[in-house]
Amino acid sequence: MGIDLASSAASSTTEATYKAREVEGWIDIRFYRKIGFRLASFFAKLKMTPAGVSLLGCLFGVIAGHLYYYHNLSVNIAGMVLHVGANALDNADGQLARLTNRKSRTGRVIDSLADHLIWVSIYVHLGLRCLAHGPWPAVALLTLAAGFSHALQGAAADYYRNGYLYFVRGRSRADLHSFSMLREEYRGLRWRAEPWNKFLLALYLNFTWQQEMLSPGLKRLHETIERDFPNEIPSLLQTRFRDSAGPMLRRWRLLMTNTRMFLLFLLLSIGQPVWYFWLELTAFNFLLVYLILQQESMSQSLLELAAARHEPRVDSL
């Protein structure tokens, strides 16, 4: 059956390809998700895979990063257009996966790898551009520190967003995995037999380790819920999590792609991209620490509630 793109059906179908409306940003709902849905519908007719769309978006983004190297606003604007296209394709790959029921962990890892390659290109080319204004050791250190900060901020934001989906929308809507379980699966794979799958799992294992290292309280809460409530998360815990974490989602979105792109475009427009690095190291890191402290406090409160709600099992005689 073909995909109906009639306007009356499109909006409801578009929303069905969201992860959840409350975790979507304003510009995502009004711009990227609408474009992403049309792109996903087009790619579905071409029988493209979500991974293929991710790689296409990666190509756009890597080229955009290269165009940011030049001290020419027109060239930079061309890079911005490609960057917006890459972000639209980044939305479209997930929407295509949900539209065609081809959501998978492998696709998530490839999508994450594509995102990282885009930002590596951006940081490397901005760093090379900034070499004209400062000694290379200082510029290299600034670029590496900003890139490392970006990676940690993105990992934490992704983890807490998936934590929200897990608790509020249900296990099936979230990509919340345990490092210990992934490690066992990783050890079971052999490089000679499945090199590609083992490589991707190694990347995902490292990403999950970073997330759990940054968020030990949420990690413990996730493990407790999986152990004590394997069938269904109690409604009281879901409600408490939603009421506590919901208001913080808006702040977590400040550490996601749309905010970064807006600030980067602004600073490129005035010829001061080096300030973007300083924003990463100062404002974004301060926000990260504040949000982690808030979320960890919330996780501890919910752990206590989960312990109070848990009833020991009585085995049948």
d(C-alpha 166, C-alpha 173), whole Å: 6
Among 16-20, 66-70, 155-159, 255-259, the least confident range? 16-20
Which of 178, 156, 140 lies closest to 252, judged by CA? Answer: 156
Which of 108, 111, 104, 106 lies closest to 90, judged by CA? Answer: 111
Res. 165 pLDDT band, cuts 50 70 90: confident
- Give the model confidence (pLDDT) of 189-214 as tens digits: 999 899 999 999 999 999 999 999 99
* Right CATH for 21-132 from 1.20.120.1760, 2.60.40.740, 1.20.1250.20, 3.40.309.10: 1.20.120.1760
Quick count: other Cβ atoms within 10 Å of Cβ 220? 17
Helix crossing, 105-130 with 195-214: angle to 10°? 70
d(C-alpha 166, C-alpha 178), whole Å: 13
Does 6 score more than 80 pLDDT?
no
Res. 8 pLDDT band, cuts 50 70 90: very low
- Give the model confidence (pLDDT) of 139-156 as tens digits: 999 999 999 999 999 999
What is the residue type of 275? W
- Report the predicted TM-score, pTM, of the whole model to 2 decimal places: 0.87
pLDDT at residue 287, rounded to an integer: 96
pLDDT at residue 45, rounded to an integer: 92
d(C-alpha 277, C-alpha 220), whole Å: 33
Share of residues in the chain with pLDDT > 90 (%)? 59
Res. 312 pLDDT band, cuts 50 70 90: low
- Give how far Cα 277 sits from Cα of 210, 254, 261, Å: 21, 16, 13
Does 317 score more than 60 pLDDT?
no
Averaged pLDDT score across all residues of the chain: 88
**End-to-end Cα spacing for the chain:** 53
Average pLDDT of the segment spanning 169-186: 82
Among 125-129, 167-171, 198-202, the least confident range? 167-171
Average pLDDT of the segment spanning 264-270: 96
Ordered by start, the domain boundaries in the chain are 21-132, 134-309
Q: What angle do CA 53, 57, 59 make, to 5 degrees?
A: 120
What is the sign of the dihedral through the CA atoms of 11, 17, 22 and 24?
A: negative
DSSP result, the chain: -PPP--HHHHHHHHHHTSS-GGGS-HHIIIIIHHHHHHHHHHHHHTT--HHHHHHHHHHHHHHHHHHTTSS-HHHHHHHHHHHHHHHHHHHHHHHHHHHTT---HHHHHHHHHHHHHHHHHHHHHHHHHHGGGS-HHHHHHHHHHHHHHHHHHHHHHHHHHHHHIIIII-GGG-----HHHHHHHHHH--TTT-HHHHHHHHHHHHHHHHHHHH-HHHHHHHHHHHHH-SS---HHHHHHHHHHHHHHHHHHGGGSHHHHHHHHHHHHHTT-THHHHHHIIIIIHHHHHHHHHHHHHHHHHHHHHHHHH--------
